[in-house]
Structure 1
């Protein structure tokens, strides 16, 4: 039996009903990191630097979690659209086994490599020692972190974004309360911050497991499904690595234009990431709705979902662009009083504003193709856009001393190349493969 028709119909209310809870879930972890940073920051510069270094290492786990959630959503949504909720939940079971195995491996590697990693990343032995101590505890949360990601994935696939919202909020609020208590009254200092992190991540993972057990008693691992999920995750991983290479290279080139330039670049890039976070919520709605439509064998509905979700992403991005344009002279002052940084930010602000509407469409179409399981195409498009457009442009900017404008011209080329490739794919029938699996 197929799910209700409104489970596949991309009305504005339906898109908002999926996107808004997803947005809160996406924002919960960064907001908690800000709270954690503020609490630890009052211990002094060494603990603050230690958390910054340890958090950078832990972001690898967050990255793996995002890939796992996205891959699971599309596969579960296809089964759900085909009327087979049990098979959709089964995707969550196999994703949870994968999460548990990968999370345990990351925890073991993190404990073994904490000292060497902190030594490489830290600027002095005292900071390295503090970061390694924090990291040895914090990595114990990796299994819970990835279990929560797998849980988010299958629950989004069956279009349940409300229970994940309460699980993630509850775990992070508990940790936000626990962190200052453990750090100060309990006298644990930096160790208290790590324990609070592990508590939130482990609790979140366990709660998602409880939801899974309530849905099914078929909890045995099925290697064939896990292998297919790994292949899908591999393509998403390569795609993500291309993004990381681009942004790291951009920062490296910006740093060669001076302190003010790299400061301005960091401010605008973080604002870009913030906008991407919000626009990713629309992409998550696209994954769920497109997967359900194709699972039900309804290509016309899938096309309609793609049109509506893309329009929603574009409208949201235009709103961000208008707000950014209005705040061009004010927003940089929130981050620094340095007039040299403000002057550099003014150079790249027009690029930032102009690219946002294009990015809104790009992120929405990313969600459409992930929901359709067309991840191999996304992988290839992203890698080619990085190699042929972004990286040559920014290194030419360095060679010819074009400044931050040249760096952001490279970002523009990268975004426009992805826009062209995604719209071409969207207009073709190649992504419209129906059925419960792809």
Structure 2
């Protein structure tokens, strides 16, 4: 079982490493342009796309879970039909996003705030990067589908290609053509479409024989579509809560001053960096849990859940030690702004606590996504967001200010894992035992 976990987790970790690497390089490029406003511009612009992409993250998650279960049941026609349904939904969503890009930008900047100089640069970034939305959302679907088919290699190839192309283009546009935040945005757009083309080529290379199994009647299966949209609605609410927390975090950072905005933007990269490592095991959980539930293999489900938690805890300990010893070194790689580095010192201990506090939320998310048991995920996020994160911040803010944001963030991550762990027996294990 450990071999099966690592076979799926390691390619995802390798591909995921390139994602935070891209974010780090974008920040580093802006961090060496001589002003913190460029860091703030990338941060604010990225928050908007986090809002869009995290909000539609259900496209990847539900595709992964449903496909893994179809794979476990050995239903090839259903598996390929899930991909077509998800891509058609993605096309519709993408058209709406592009049509509404002006009000999205206006509303987002009104909500988030920031200095006028930062907002002007962030708006330029947004106007270019928004055109990557159709490709980015389609890649969510392809990645989830390949993973559900127990194929972690193809998402790895796509992610590595996208991020390498993005990094090379961003460096070229910023240093070669003397562009600033708009250069980073343009690099992102081109790389996303390169990734989409690669995904289509890989699909035809290995799964071409499955395509004739798709029929109009199967695509429009009302029973499946009802369940599909129910799960997607729950995951959307779950993702929306995460968006609320991170948007609130960035907005409150911006309301303090540009330096704190830059500090928190950089420190959040430590959380993101850990998340993309631990997500390798969460993604393995999606594929394996879905497969075992589809095949109704109770003992294998119990075993894989236990092993995923062990792997997650081990990784959390490693990252805790890494952050305890190397945080200042990483900070200096990200920015040469002395005032940002100096201001960050008083908040570094929060970063050391991040891995252990958040590991459960990632692993349990993967388990629940694979099981397509979406209601507990939704409810855990509603509780963690509105009964923990928000009250903690407002209660502590008068005294702790920016520390209140970090305390709220850690308790938000920790509580999600605890709630899902407590609900596992009732919502996943017992129903499977009854079916088996």
**TM bucket, shorter chain:** 0.7 to 0.9
Which runs of no fewer than 5 residues in structure 1 stay unpaired?
1-10
Equivalent residue in structure 2 for 1:143, among 129, 134, 157? 134
Matching of residue 216 in structure 1 with residue 227 in structure 2: no
1:315 Cα deviation from its structure 2 partner:
0.8
Give the direction of change, closer, same or farther, for the CA distance of 1:166–1:302 in structure 2 (3 Å limit).
same
Give the corresponding residue for 1:21: 11
Give the corresponding residue for 2:297: 298
1:73 Cα deviation from its structure 2 partner:
0.6
Once the two structures are superposed, the pairs formed by residues 287-436 of structure 1 within 5 Å of their partners are 287-327=286-326, 337-338=338-339, 341-345=343-347, 349=349, 351-399=350-398, 401-403=399-401, 405-428=403-426, 430-434=428-432
Matching of residue 155 in structure 1 with residue 146 in structure 2: yes
Distance in 1, matches of 2:85 and 2:31, equals 40
Larger RCO (CA within 8 A; separation ≥ 6): 2
1:48-106 Cα offsets, whole Å, 9 max, x none, are 77655544433334324533111211111011111123322221111111111112221
Matching of residue 97 in structure 1 with residue 88 in structure 2: yes
Distance in 2, matches of 1:114 and 1:255, equals 17
Give the corresponding residue for 2:233: 234
Q: Secondary structure at the match of 1:327?
A: helix
TM-score normalised by structure 1 residue count: 0.81
Distance in 2, matches of 1:146 and 1:367, equals 19
Give the corresponding residue for 1:8: none
1:142-200 Cα offsets, whole Å, 9 max, x none, are 11111111000111001101122112322333344445556676788876654433222
Name the structure where helix makes up a greater proportion of residues.
Answer: 2
Distance in 2, matches of 1:86 and 1:239, equals 29
- 8 A contact 1:263–1:341 mirrored in 2: no
Q: Secondary structure at the match of 2:310?
A: helix
1:221-276 Cα offsets, whole Å, 9 max, x none, are 43634554333222122112222333444456667888877665554433122212
Give the corresponding residue for 1:171: 162
Give the direction of change, closer, same or farther, for the CA distance of 1:113–1:317 in structure 2 (3 Å limit).
closer
Distance in 2, matches of 1:223 and 1:132, equals 42
1:343 Cα deviation from its structure 2 partner:
4.7
How many positions carry a matched residue from both structures? 421
- Superposition RMSD in Å: 3.7
- 8 A contact 2:65–2:372 mirrored in 1: yes
Give the corresponding residue for 1:285: 284
Give the direction of change, closer, same or farther, for the CA distance of 1:390–1:298 in structure 2 (3 Å limit).
same
TM-score normalised by structure 2 residue count: 0.81
Q: Which moved more, 1:206-215 or 1:100-109?
A: 206-215
Which runs of no fewer than 5 residues in structure 2 stay unpaired?
none
Give the corresponding residue for 1:7: none
Give the direction of change, closer, same or farther, for the CA distance of 1:363–1:176 in structure 2 (3 Å limit).
closer
